[in-house]
């Protein structure tokens, strides 16, 4: 176990964004003996903090947010984040009202917990208005008043004590019981040119509750509404549902001019990554199609080869579903690699089938309707090609799957999704390719009159 009080410290984990220095924040790192129990332990810890445990003699923790989370790979983004943005110096009260309505909508979703906003609760602030005329007569400047206030709360640095290579600052501070009351602040004295002057005779005090924290994004005021998800629920599904709720649409329609709501967190990250991935996939797919068309000087055989891609995609989804992995970046990368392997298998079969058809056509009398051979000879050639290429294709798939199995079982959360989607995709596609590609080849040639050679 490790404890940090007053902030999140340095960035000790890639997927963990440390909290800025704050007096009301503490972080406890717990390392479990087995990673399989981490999720259950975090869930149990949250229940005990919220409801208490009579057997353990623990009361519910009130007045604090305790958020047990399991460290995961990927960007440090919350599963559900909405941003309420007001242009420029937007009215904080209007921003807070919109954020409160949005928190209510998010909190009504059964899968969410720890719904909060980034501004937090308001802070009790003391505004000291110095009367310029009285301060001038007393020979007191605003800098002297500020120094007195800073010394009252933070202390006055007097000197520095040097101990070897270390310098230890020495502060003059009031006793803790003397800084708990605002009345004692009013009764404090300010050192001016004409001696000590009571602060209350120079300034007026105004007390109010104000936002303790104001965040900005692109020079605009923003409040982030965040939430955690129950185990087994993805934040993207809940975000999509909230975006289509009538209550959310009414909230957007009621926002003043210059205000708007946008999504963030893992939903935003997945949208950006998905867009980049689809762009890369589109370019790769276009290049593959162009290469196949140039190689076969037509569109029929490239269509046969590309028909294996939906089968590979179905197998990849099946692998992710069976292994309970989400479609993250690494599984998407595995699907792209799977497409290349599957296309290679289809190309090998079609090339070998064309070789056998050329031999049959050269030895025939040329009277058949399909490249000089009969329909029965054409079908038997496809079957022979499938039988002869079955063993090489099967061995290629078996060696690839055998190399991926250790990665799927002990590769951790980073590689498990990629390995399982490739394993299931290879097994399903290899089995279907040996049956579906010959059938499609025969349909193209016999029904659409496509020349096989």
pLDDT in tens, 47-65: 898 888 888 888 888 888 8
Q: Would you state the structure tokens that stand for residue 24, as one six-digit string?
A: 């009301």
CB 138 within 8 A of CB 202: yes
| Cα–Cα separations (whole angstroms), residue 322 to 155, 308, 312, 416 | 62, 21, 15, 12
What average pLDDT does the segment 376-382 reach? 87
What is the C-alpha to C-alpha distance for residues 116 and 266, in angstroms, rounded to an integer?
17
What average pLDDT does the segment 305-316 reach? 88
148-176: b (≥16 Cβ within 10 Å) or e: bbebbeeeeeeeeeeeeeeeeeeeeeeee
DSSP, collapsed to helix, strand or coil, labels residue 308 as: helix
pLDDT of 422 > 80? The answer is yes
Q: Residue 204 — very low, low, confident or very high, per pLDDT cuts 50/70/90?
A: confident
What average pLDDT does the segment 352-378 reach? 83
Task: Put residue 222 in one of left, alpha, beta given phi > 0 → left and psi -120 to 50 → alpha.
Answer: beta
What average pLDDT does the segment 3-8 reach? 82
Q: What is the per-residue pLDDT for 76?
A: 67
Q: Residue 197 — very low, low, confident or very high, per pLDDT cuts 50/70/90?
A: confident
What average pLDDT does the segment 359-377 reach? 81
Backbone angles phi, psi at 365, to 5 degrees: -85, -5
What average pLDDT does the segment 253-270 reach? 90
Angle at 324 between CA 320 and CA 327, to 5 degrees: 50
Q: Residue 366 — very low, low, confident or very high, per pLDDT cuts 50/70/90?
A: confident
pLDDT of 452 > 80? The answer is no
Angle at 418 between CA 413 and CA 419, to 5 degrees: 95
CB 215 within 8 A of CB 223: yes
Q: What is the per-residue pLDDT for 75?
A: 64
Q: What is the per-residue pLDDT for 101?
A: 95
Q: Residue 423 — very low, low, confident or very high, per pLDDT cuts 50/70/90?
A: very high
Q: What is the per-residue pLDDT for 16?
A: 77
DSSP, collapsed to helix, strand or coil, labels residue 276 as: helix
Residue where the block lists tokens 């162009």: 290
Q: Residue 239 — very low, low, confident or very high, per pLDDT cuts 50/70/90?
A: very high
Q: Which domains does the chain have, with CATH numbers?
A: 123-211 (3.30.2090.10), 298-446 (1.20.1640.10)
What is the C-alpha to C-alpha distance for residues 71 and 21, in angstroms, rounded to an integer?
21
Residue 272's closest CA among 215, 329, 334, 335? 329
In DSSP notation, 368-409 reads BTBTBB-HHHHHHHHHHHHHHHHHHHHHHHHHHHHHHHHHHH
Q: What is the per-residue pLDDT for 348?
A: 85
Strands in 330-409 per DSSP E:
none
Q: Residue 107 — very low, low, confident or very high, per pLDDT cuts 50/70/90?
A: very high
pLDDT of 227 > 70? The answer is yes
Q: What is the per-residue pLDDT for 74?
A: 64
Note the Cα 92 to chain centre separation in Å: 28
Q: Residue 97 — very low, low, confident or very high, per pLDDT cuts 50/70/90?
A: very high
Q: Tens digits of per-residue pLDDT, 110-155?
A: 999 999 999 988 888 888 888 888 888 888 888 888 888 888 778 8
CB 308 within 8 A of CB 342: yes
Backbone angles phi, psi at 118, to 5 degrees: -75, -20
- Which H or E element spans position 77? none
Average pLDDT over the chain, rounded to whole? Answer: 86
Q: What is the per-residue pLDDT for 261?
A: 95
- Which H or E element spans position 99? helix 92-107
- The answer for residues whose C-beta is within 8 angstroms of residue 407's C-beta and 6 or more apart is 415, 416, 418, 419
- Which H or E element spans position 156? strand 156-163
What percent of the chain stands above pLDDT 90?
19
Q: What is the per-residue pLDDT for 183?
A: 76
């Amino acid at each position: 176990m490790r404890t940090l009080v007053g902030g999140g410290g340095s960035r000790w984990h890639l997927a963990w964004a440390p909290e800025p220095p704050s007096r009301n924040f503490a972080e406890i790192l717990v390392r479990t003996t087995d990673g399989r129990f981490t999720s259950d332990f975090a869930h149990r810890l949250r229940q005990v903090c919220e409801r208490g445990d009579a057997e353990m003699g623990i009361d519910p923790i009130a007045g604090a947010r305790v958020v047990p989370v399991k460290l995961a790979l990927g960007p440090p983004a919350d599963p559900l984040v909405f941003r309420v943005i007001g242009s420029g110096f937007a009215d904080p009260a209007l921003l807070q009202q919109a954020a409160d309505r949005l928190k209510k909508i998010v909190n009504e979703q059964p899968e969410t917990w720890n719904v909060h906003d980034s501004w937090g609760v308001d802070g009790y602030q003391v505004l000291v208005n110095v009367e310029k005329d009285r301060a001038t007569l007393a020979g007191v400047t605003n800098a002297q008043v500020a120094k007195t206030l800073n010394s009252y709360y933070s202390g006055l640095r007097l000197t520095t004590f040097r101990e070897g290579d270390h310098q230890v600052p020495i502060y003059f501070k009031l006793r803790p019981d003397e800084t708990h009351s605002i009345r004692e602040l009013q009764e404090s004295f300010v050192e001016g040119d004409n001696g000590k002057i009571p602060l209350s005779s120079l300034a007026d005090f105004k007390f109010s509750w104000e936002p303790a924290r104001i965040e900005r994004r692109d020079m605009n005021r923003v409040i982030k509404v965040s939430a955690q998800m129950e185990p087994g629920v993805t934040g993207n599904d809940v975000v999509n549902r909230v975006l289509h709720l009538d209550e959310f649409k009414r909230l957007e329609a009621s926002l003043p001019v210059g205000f708007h709501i946008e999504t963030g967190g893992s939903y935003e990250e997945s949208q950006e990554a998905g867009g980049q991935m689809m762009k890369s996939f589109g370019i790769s797919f276009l290049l593959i199609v162009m290469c196949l068309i140039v190689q076969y000087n037509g569109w029929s055989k490239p269509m046969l080869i590309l028909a294996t891609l939906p089968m590979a995609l179905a197998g990849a989804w099946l692998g992710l579903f069976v292994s309970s992995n989400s479609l993250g970046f690494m599984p998407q990368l595995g699907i792209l690699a799977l497409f290349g392997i599957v296309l290679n298998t289809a190309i090998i079969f079609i090339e070998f089938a064309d070789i056998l058809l050329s031999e049959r056509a050269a030895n025939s009398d040329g009277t058949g309707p399909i490249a000089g051979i009969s329909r029965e000879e054409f079908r038997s050639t496809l079957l022979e090609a499938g039988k002869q290429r079955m063993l090489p294709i099967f061995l290629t798939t078996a060696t690839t799957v055998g190399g991926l199995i250790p990665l799927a079982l002990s590769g951790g959360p980073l590689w498990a999704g990629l390995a399982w989607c490739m394993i299931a995709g290879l097994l399903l596609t290899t089995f279907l390719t040996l049956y579906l590609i010959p059938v499609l080849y025969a349909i193209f040639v016999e029904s659409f009159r496509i020349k096989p050679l």
